[in-house]
Amino acid sequence: MSELRHNTFEDEDLIRPIEQTGPGFYLMVAILLGVIVFAGYTYIRQVFLGLGVTGLAQPVSWGFYIINFVFFIGISHAGTLISAILRLSKAEWRRPITRMAEVITAIVLAIGGLHPILDLGRPDRMLHLFTEGRLQSPLLWDVTSITAYFAASTVYLYLPMIPDIAILRDRGTRPRWLYEFLAWGWRGTEHQKKVLERAINILMVMVIPIAISVHTVISFIFSMTIQPGWHSTIFGPYFVVGAIFSGIAALLIVMIAFRKAFDLGKYLKLIHFQYLSTLLLIMSFLWFYFTFAEYLTGFYGHEPNEMRVFLYKFTGDYAPWFWTMGICNFLIPVVILVNPKTKKIPGILIASISVVIGMWLERLIIVVPSLANPRLPYPTGIYIPSLTEWSLFAGGVAVFILAYMLFAKLFPIISIWEIQEGREESVHAVAERLKSYLPDPPSEQLLTEKLGSKR
Amino acid sequence: MKNDKTIFWLQIASVSWIWIFVMGVAIWILNLIRVAHKLNDALNASVGISIVAIPVFFTLAAILTYVFVGLQKDKHRGDERAKQTGGIDSSWRGAK
């Protein structure tokens, strides 16, 4: 250990939360564990008593669990997809953001991916998927694409962490064996750097189509059926847009929370929030465009079953939720984010929370009304979630917060090496890039000739 | 030293686990193709999906293995350099 030399460290602020733990951390962990234990209890109760303890019934057989499944998987688009796009487009402002985004993906994918199991009255029957599953079913496409996305996102999160893990190992941060194990022998040689860069470059290209496929395939669960309100050709891109939209909002909330909790104002500057919230604003307009196109097409066709669902959302039982969704996803973010005076961190936080709520409502609006108004001659269905469903929802959110906190306790939440690389190479790299965009300056000979002709 | 060896073998085990996982996914998908064939149930669709899915998982495992081997290969060179310079600088700038 004595032969290891600590880096002269200008980024001590990023290591401090790992090496020092305040009482607030333990208090928060205890509260979250309490919520998770209660959720665990309600789930065990559901397994023993059956789905009768939920608000699910015929014809509304999908409720909170599937809504949350779609919602959490949507949030996962915050991370790997946004990070990969920003890396690929060489957006220099990405540097303090990418790690935070990637962590969101890995955690919410694990949470979201488990939700369909909660929806099963007999979870042991999941095993049939392995022995007798039908690959032609969109449900199986989901299992495959979510597994692929989870694997790719975890690798994409882990590989860029290796140099930072090695820094912790060399500082002797505890648990040292963990950092030694995860650093994979990183010594910071030129060859190692090349290997890692090559792998990250391949991954970031690979991860974008996987991420898009995931939410497209999730939309297929709905759109491949002929249920009114679901059977739509634009559901794939509509879901992808919604996922990126809610993902950016979730990322902004996480960034604001950690900026405050870890005092990271030096790294997460107003400009980062403003750039990201501009993306949020663009996605808000895009979401509105897709929603408008989706509902206008259904309304114009005026097919009776389609209209039952349409009116159920616009003027019926679900009208309050539908219009709140519109206010949360469009009105509030647009009003806040188009005005430079309100496009500050408090305003961005309000807009982001509003979008997350709005996007959850959108999932509710998609799932329940179509099931409540089926083509078959059923009376209109009713769905009121029970305490079991609410507690499992709270449990899912608590698992997310806890997992994120534990990650931040073990690893730097902002990529140290990317910040260092940015400080040392970005200015030069951006200058070179700018030169390559701009037209070449006129040669001296040409200038002399032009000046001569003017005289 | 003994600790280093244990960690090294744990690292080997983790990389091997990734291959076991990927092989497991591939076997699962191939089994579903077999079921589709047995039941005469849209075999072409199953084959089409597997052609996309299986290579994705294998590529991921290959990338991880490539990085692991690449880092391990140069680990000792890094250690020798550390002896000459008086310490390891694992940070990104240490590569220069």
Q: What is the pLDDT of residues A156-176, one digit of tens each?
A: 999 999 999 999 998 888 888
| Alpha-carbon gap, residue A152 to A170, rounded angstroms | 28
Residue B88: pLDDT band (50, 70, 90) is low
DSSP H helical segments within chain B, as ranges? Answer: 2-38, 43-85
pLDDT for res A150: 92
- Does position A6 have pLDDT exceeding 60, yes or no? no
Residue A424: pLDDT band (50, 70, 90) is confident
- Does position B94 have pLDDT exceeding 50, yes or no? no
Which has the higher per-residue pLDDT, B87 or A391? A391
Domain residue ranges of chain B, discontinuous segments joined by +: 2-76
- Does position B64 have pLDDT exceeding 90, yes or no? yes
Q: Do A135 and B86 touch (CB under 8 A)?
A: no
Structural contact between residues A186 and A192, judged by C-beta atoms closer than 8 angstroms: yes
Q: Does A202 touch chain B (CB under 8 A)?
A: yes
* Per-window interface: A 418-437 vs B, CB < 8 A: 418, 420-421, 424
What mean pLDDT is reported for chain A? 90
A79-95 as b/e: b if 16+ CB within 10 A:
bbbbbbbbbeeeeeebb
Taking alpha carbons only, the member of A306, A383, A367, A309 closest to residue A58 is A383
Lowest mean per-residue pLDDT among A6-20, A56-70, A91-105, A283-297: A6-20
Q: Is A334 exposed, middle or buried (0-12, 13-18, 19+ CB in 10 A)?
A: middle
Digit-coded pLDDT (tens) for B9-41: 999 999 999 999 999 999 999 999 999 999 888
Which tokens in the block code for residue A127?
A: 């095993």
Contacts of B71 in chain A (CB under 8 A): 162, 184-186, 192, 195-196
Domain A63-373+406-454 top-level CATH class: mainly alpha
Digit-coded pLDDT (tens) for A285-314: 999 999 999 999 989 999 999 999 999 999
| Alpha-carbon gap, residue B54 to B25, rounded angstroms | 8
The CA distances from residue A417 to A31, A96, A113, A188, B90, in Å, are 34, 10, 31, 11, 10
In one-letter notation, the amino acid at residue A107 is I
Best mean pLDDT range from A6-15, A29-38, A88-97, B40-49 = A29-38
Q: Do B75 and A151 touch (CB under 8 A)?
A: no
Contacts of A133 in chain B (CB under 8 A): 32, 35
The CA distances from residue A43 to A47, A127, A313, A393, B39, in Å, are 6, 19, 31, 11, 36
Taking alpha carbons only, the member of A243, A163, A160 closest to residue A203 is A160
Contacts of A203 in chain B (CB under 8 A): 63
Give the distance from residue A331's alpha carbon to the nearest chain B alpha carbon, in angstroms: 40
pLDDT for res A29: 96
* Per-window interface: A 391-420 vs B, CB < 8 A: 416-418, 420
pLDDT for res A3: 36
* Per-window interface: B 40-69 vs A, CB < 8 A: 41-42, 45-46, 49-50, 53, 56-57, 59-60, 63-64, 66-68
Domain residue ranges of chain A, discontinuous segments joined by +: 63-373+406-454
Closest Cβ–Cβ partner in B57, B86, B90 for A188: B90
Interface probe for B, chosen from A7, A9, A128, A135 (most Cβ of B below 10 Å), is A135
Contacts of B4 in chain A (CB under 8 A): 180
The CA distances from residue A389 to A46, A304, A324, B53, in Å, are 10, 32, 22, 33
Lowest mean per-residue pLDDT among A234-248, A265-279, A426-440, B56-70: A426-440
Q: Do A144 and B49 touch (CB under 8 A)?
A: yes
Q: Does A131 touch chain B (CB under 8 A)?
A: yes
Contacts of B31 in chain A (CB under 8 A): 130-131
Rounded average pLDDT over A118-146: 88
pLDDT for res A4: 39
- Does position A1 have pLDDT exceeding 60, yes or no? no
A55-66 as b/e: b if 16+ CB within 10 A:
bbeebbebbbbb
Lowest mean per-residue pLDDT among A304-308, A425-429, B46-50: A425-429
Q: Do B71 and A141 touch (CB under 8 A)?
A: no
Residue A363: pLDDT band (50, 70, 90) is very high
Q: How many contacts (CB atoms, under 8 Å) link A and B?
A: 164
Q: What is the ipTM of this complex?
A: 0.85
